[in-house]
Amino acid sequence: MTVHERTGDGFVAEDADDIQLVQLVPSGQQWTVVPFLQFAGHDGSEVTGPVFSPDGSRLYVSSQRGTDGARMSFEVTGPFAGT
């Protein structure tokens, strides 16, 4: 899990059947869970290590076993909600 410092939104790596990164958006006293990034073709893998760059403009996340058994890392550029 990681939190975007400016927005306060949390990003959680979800494995199980979905293999996706979900975004937790504050909504009053509760949180709304929104799918943010779906890893298609990464069956048998796990989402790992979400982290933002120091300026919050880029999100890095990895697929532990990728599509062929080798780790794959991704860079997602913003802007992110509220930035």
**Which band of pLDDT confidence, cut at 50, 70 and 90, is reported for residue 13?**
very high
Q: Which residue, 17, 9, 53, 16, is CA-closest to 34?
A: 9
**Which pLDDT tens digit goes with each residue over 29-75?**
988 888 999 998 888 889 999 999 999 999 999 999 888 888 899 99
Q: Per the domain annotation, does 22 fall within a domain?
A: yes
Total tally of structural domains belonging to the chain:
1
Q: Per the domain annotation, does 83 fall within a domain?
A: no
Q: Per the domain annotation, does 60 fall within a domain?
A: yes
- 49 sits in the region (left: phi over 0; alpha: psi -120 to 50; else beta) called left
Q: Per the domain annotation, does 82 fall within a domain?
A: no
46/52 Cα distance (integer angstroms): 19
Q: Tokens representing 62?
A: 């990895």
Q: Per the domain annotation, does 36 fall within a domain?
A: yes
Q: Per the domain annotation, does 57 fall within a domain?
A: yes
4/14 Cα distance (integer angstroms): 17
Domain range enclosing 45: 2-77
Q: Per the domain annotation, does 52 fall within a domain?
A: yes
pTM of the entire predicted model: 0.83
